[in-house]
Structure 1
């Protein structure tokens, strides 16, 4: 066997493994959505993904490991959304607002993101993945706030770490309230109200006039 053939074989095996892993995550999201985390079982996941238990265990050692991977998926989506919005060059404050609405839209449109977000509220999963998720979200928000501050968009004297933690906490709270009261049907409206209430104390008046508190088109 030539070096080229051996290299091609490795690439093909990695591609197959990546597809299997992706299929398992999609199947797990569908099963968790249907049965809930506590009611779901690995047999149902394997059946939906059309793989054996052995194939599943090559990628995930337990139902909890599948759930943590789905939680981590939504973190990757957050970074991807941020990068996509930054490329539009609309300014850091507007990007931060747009990111929150883009993530809410992702919850509506992408089952894996929605289930990963829901799984984070499971006590077992939160103990394993909650700190990393919240630190990641806080870092994204704080970095955008720092950029907004350097751009002269923010009021002076703000503790940006505390502001970022407060924003993340408020966003999580809004989701819980919306889920409890309307099944998250009013999440967009609650998010708009939260931004309207918070922005005047954070953003300079001149910058505030140019901000759009609505999803980006």
Structure 2
């Protein structure tokens, strides 16, 4: 094995180990010694890739920073319409929060570590961009109410999604996130979607 693939594998192992430790101990409670032990590398090897615990946290966040874009592109291929794609995107992301360690830990880091404020800002801007793109497509296809302001609506969708996550996390450890999203969309869609589009929408995960 050449040095470059070996280095890439070491980096992936460190990210996974850090995610497991952050998930178990929280960012504040985690230490690099534990991360190195789980990844089976020396501290010297860790410092070749990440200079600090904060750098590991940023890398985990950035590892899934393109997830919303990837999910949007994947879901659009089904040609179910932009609004349905937006709804399904939220359910799929909720599923990833439960099943994908890196996504779950990244989301947790954005909430709990003040150091990541700047990274969080970039994440939210990226999410708003994805939602805004879908709403623009929905408007072009006549799926939205005429009075909807795309910029404000995109920001509101992201804010509502984050709020639903936080409420679910606080009250049930996110065990009821899907049902909360279902109620959210049933309440909010009539304020966003044209009346002729509304009956064809599905407010449940596939």
For Structure 1 versus Structure 2, the TM-score category normalised by the shorter chain is over 0.9
TM-score, normalised by the number of residues in structure 2: 0.96
Partner of 1:34: 24
Question: Helix, strand or coil for the counterpart of 1:121?
Answer: helix
Q: 2:197 aligns with which of 187, 207, 211?
A: 207
Alpha-carbon distance in 2 for matches of 1:115, 1:135:
19
For residues 95-114 of structure 1, what are the structure 2 equivalents within 5 Å?
95-114=85-104
Contact residue 67 and residue 125 of structure 1 kept, 8 A = no
Partner of 2:57: 67
Alpha-carbon distance in 2 for matches of 1:128, 1:55:
27
Contact residue 27 and residue 113 of structure 2 kept, 8 A = no
Partner of 1:25: 15
Detail structure 1 runs of 4+ shifted over 4 Å in the superposition: none
Alpha-carbon distance in 2 for matches of 1:104, 1:177:
13
Deviations 1:137-192 (A, max 9, x none): 00000000000000110010211010010111111111111111111111111111
5+ residue gaps, structure 2, are: none
In angstroms, what is the RMSD of aligned CA positions?
1.3
Alpha-carbon distance in 2 for matches of 1:42, 1:67:
11
For residues 163-202 of structure 1, what are the structure 2 equivalents within 5 Å?
163-202=153-192
Alpha-carbon distance in 2 for matches of 1:156, 1:166:
17
Partner of 2:66: 76
Deviates more, 1:72-81 or 1:194-203: 72-81
5+ residue gaps, structure 1, are: 1-8
Alpha-carbon distance in 2 for matches of 1:55, 1:79:
32
Alpha-carbon distance in 2 for matches of 1:128, 1:19:
28
Contact residue 74 and residue 117 of structure 1 kept, 8 A = no
Contact residue 190 and residue 198 of structure 2 kept, 8 A = yes
TM-score, normalised by the number of residues in structure 1: 0.91
Q: Is the counterpart of residue 48 in structure 1 residue 45 in structure 2?
A: no
The structural deviation recorded for 1:126 is 3.2
